[in-house]
Structure 1
């Protein structure tokens, strides 16, 4: 359906009527290429935030070792760099540059370190011209500091050691950052330790280490951002969302002063013979939207500000398999008996690769939906690991037959980068009625990109509605899984988007090309407004009001209510009751609700489209659980699209 152009608000109410008031077996998606849709002023897609490999980039050219492949990876797939590990540890263990200062016991001899330490200048001139800075997130290894520094152990893990003298530790970190890098490869962000033990998060001395390093780096005018705690998990919806408290304690102990806060996020999957599917603790997609909201709701209420987030590892994998690869017994069931050739081995690997890309795509769609708080996000996909484990599960390249020196074989993890390779430009207005379908839309000159990710296993038919459907060509990339769970990647040219089919757990990028550059005629900026009441456990039968103030309610063009939910398994009803300013809302239950429920908990985010006419300056949102049992609410956030014409 073609809708004519509009002025200011009227069309938004047409959108409301068109998408959300009519019943249909098809999923309705509305796209307006003429209206930009920034989030807190973030309009342009920053590819360095999202489309990264887990590599520091310094040795990328040498490792690939092939100019044609380099061009493919950098120019065609547009891969960026994301993660490095062990900045201090590598200097202490391998650098022959860190000794104790004879005049300052417990401190490093800084003058010697300055003389010994050398930046890596091996990158070619053409490589350096691609970026001003590689924008890498560096996180430190465990037990990184030299033995001559006095240390303490984590309360519940004594062999995980940290320096007592924060001043000495901060001096060492700052010196390495300043003299061990050049402006091209200096880390953009630094986390004091990779995945510390959970018992440290409430320890003030652990927070003080972060604060001292942060202070010292700022004093030296080093641009690297300092943050943490680089927590190993992000399923804060556990225990009725009370698992958020441990992370919150670290924010409290650092007084929300760090440049960013961080955790890793993975789907921990296993094969279910009963379900004939891979399932487990799934945090990507809807649960992660709520986790991000809950952290911001916490910092807004306690520190009157949002905080930046760095996710230096994310993805999904087989968590109970020793190698994280699909075991042969399961592979035999899915793809047939083992064959003595490497093609079969790569097919077996591809099932594991698909689990990684599926989760990484779901995460990335969430991160792109939160550009105002995401500083960096890195899929845990390494370039290669031939030096220490050629069979490692999370790589782009493996040597044939896993033998060092053999030709590189590309794994199916490349599908992540191939899928997203072209998208660029400005965020534009779009809406979708189905919470199981993640969507993002961008305008780049005369090209419109529609990015969809089906979180559910159900095949959906899409009914697209564009305000301008005069596109001259339709190109589609599709990435999904076959019945045997091996991945597929397809590229197609379509004549029409009528009755567009989105397969279960399929991700697509639709590129629409128009005859000329599309003109922007309207601007919308999305502002998140947070409830004054944050994380709460609702007792049996309890109703709680979550008030939200919207100062610019008169400019509301559209609105979306987001409620993060966490429930223990024995209380895990999935329906909530919501009354918005006196009006009972229809709260859709996501189709993947059962898939999100584990043996111990259920976590998700309820996303509810709100008629903008209902939004007032002072809004009351009354929430209860439909089954009347105990449950947790992590956050209540009203995202309001404000007309900026």
Structure 2
């Protein structure tokens, strides 16, 4: 018996199949949402332990048309069926999945999508229902039925790694994440849209001319991440374009780094609490794209600990350290705190206030305000921000690209502040913009208490 059950796969993008006009699709979406509710009730009555969710959104471009896609799709679904859902399923793709414009979700855009779902969940139920990312990767128009492309594999690998690194920031509210990589996809060789018998673009194994199968470059995703495990270690980056996660076991430590920037980046590595002296050996795993567009995976063994490392655009590296046994004596407790409201319209010079309650804080640690923002590119992304009356500076950088190819900006901008500015229990965050237009989609207070 499966642990998770999704009622339908990407249903709302097919709503138009049942009616004549797009206006009528709103009624179809309502009925599909009600269907999810009924199925969840019936399934859980027979199988109480199964987790039921939906709606497996193919096109979570929620900010489009002044958040009309949010208001007529995900919000409707959560209002009608959310009470019966154990999780909310979303598909996150760089490129273009079924509908919408070509864009990159990896980085700040996917963060804004998931943060809005979390914030509305908290607004409705006083708790955040978890995510299940049942597909993630890269897709675009016209890929199916074309010859096998190592270059396309390389683009997919970059997206898998970028999106995975973002999702690893949500261990307490993410049930599962599945990269869109299929096995052999033998059905596709018989498809009418594949008259030349080309492999499905996202297969792990493709059929050769003699009928046997060989691995595609997508195998490199598993080879890169193989054996990475352990307890989380404290790791942080002062550049939102450099994603970082660290894990340790008794004898190994793994530090994963990814470059979201459009340019090559040099990262200076700082080892805390003299931990560098515990390292006995280092293997560097590098996943990158060669100059001719072919994906590469290198394992550089028997290396000395690095003080800096250069990452090409889209490159992921995993530093695999052999270490002496280390006893951790400090604990960092990370929590996320939500306002009871979200999706506020922005009016020039009118403060927008978010009240965040039940916060536990300490004198040591980190605090970040995660501001979700959807507005036209020419409008300000740097409001005056106050937390409990203290003005704090808004950075000019965020995770990933500038989103210039999208109709508007929709992303999360992380705003760090001194943890001493945070009150125990109740906090007030005030945003004031110099111009009108767009929405503050969510405000989340992220706290790392160091004990």
Q: Same fold (TM over 0.5)?
A: yes
1:589 aligns with 2:449: no
Cα pair 1:481 1:488 within 8 Å, conserved: yes
Aligned-pair RMSD on alpha carbons?
2.9
1:207 aligns with 2:33: yes
Q: Following TM superposition, by how much is the alpha carbon of 1:598 offset from its aligned partner in structure 2, in angstroms?
A: 2.2
- Which residue matches 2:267? 462
Distance across 2 between alignment mates of 1:527 and 1:423: 24
Aligned counterpart in structure 1 of residue 77 of structure 2, from 250, 256, 259: 250
TM-score of the superposed pair, with normalisation by structure 1: 0.62
- Which residue matches 1:509? 318
- Which residue matches 2:161? 361
Show the 5 A alignment for 1:482-497.
482-493=290-301, 494-497=303-306
Cα pair 2:235 2:245 within 8 Å, conserved: yes
Cα pair 1:449 1:512 within 8 Å, conserved: yes
TM-score of the superposed pair, with normalisation by structure 2: 0.87
Show the 5 A alignment for 1:419-430.
419-430=224-235
Q: Following TM superposition, by how much is the alpha carbon of 1:478 offset from its aligned partner in structure 2, in angstroms?
A: 0.9
- Which residue matches 1:308? 130
Secondary structure of 1:596 counterpart: coil
Distance across 2 between alignment mates of 1:324 and 1:358: 22
Cα pair 2:108 2:398 within 8 Å, conserved: no
Distance across 2 between alignment mates of 1:225 and 1:475: 39
1:518 aligns with 2:345: no
Gaps of 5+ in 1: 1-132, 144-153, 161-196, 271-278, 326-344
Q: Following TM superposition, by how much is the alpha carbon of 1:612 offset from its aligned partner in structure 2, in angstroms?
A: 0.9
Cα distance, 1:605–1:588 mapped onto 2, change above 3 Å:
same
Distance across 2 between alignment mates of 1:576 and 1:408: 55
1:298 aligns with 2:125: no
User: Higher relative CO (CA 8 A, sep ≥ 6), structure 1 or 2?
Assistant: 1
Distance across 2 between alignment mates of 1:366 and 1:198: 32
Q: Following TM superposition, by how much is the alpha carbon of 1:364 offset from its aligned partner in structure 2, in angstroms?
A: 1.1
- Which residue matches 1:157? 17
Secondary structure of 2:158 counterpart: helix
Secondary structure of 1:250 counterpart: helix
Q: Following TM superposition, by how much is the alpha carbon of 1:222 offset from its aligned partner in structure 2, in angstroms?
A: 4.6
Cα distance, 1:544–1:136 mapped onto 2, change above 3 Å:
closer
Cα pair 1:239 1:567 within 8 Å, conserved: no
Cα distance, 1:201–1:256 mapped onto 2, change above 3 Å:
farther
Secondary structure of 1:295 counterpart: helix
- Which residue matches 1:175? none
Provide, for residues 625-644 of structure 1, a one-character-per-residue CA deviation record: whole Å limited to 9, x for no partner. Answer: 45x2412211101111134x
1:477 aligns with 2:277: no
Secondary structure of 2:187 counterpart: coil
- Which residue matches 2:240? 435
Gaps of 5+ in 2: 190-197
Cα distance, 1:555–1:485 mapped onto 2, change above 3 Å:
same
Cα pair 2:37 2:80 within 8 Å, conserved: no
- Which residue matches 1:610? 417
Distance across 2 between alignment mates of 1:613 and 1:298: 28
- Which residue matches 1:444? 249
- Which residue matches 2:214? 409
Distance across 2 between alignment mates of 1:280 and 1:624: 31
Secondary structure of 1:388 counterpart: helix
Cα pair 1:285 1:455 within 8 Å, conserved: yes
Distance across 2 between alignment mates of 1:522 and 1:543: 39
Aligned counterpart in structure 2 of residue 399 of structure 1, from 207, 210, 229: 207
Cα pair 1:568 1:601 within 8 Å, conserved: yes
1:323 aligns with 2:144: yes
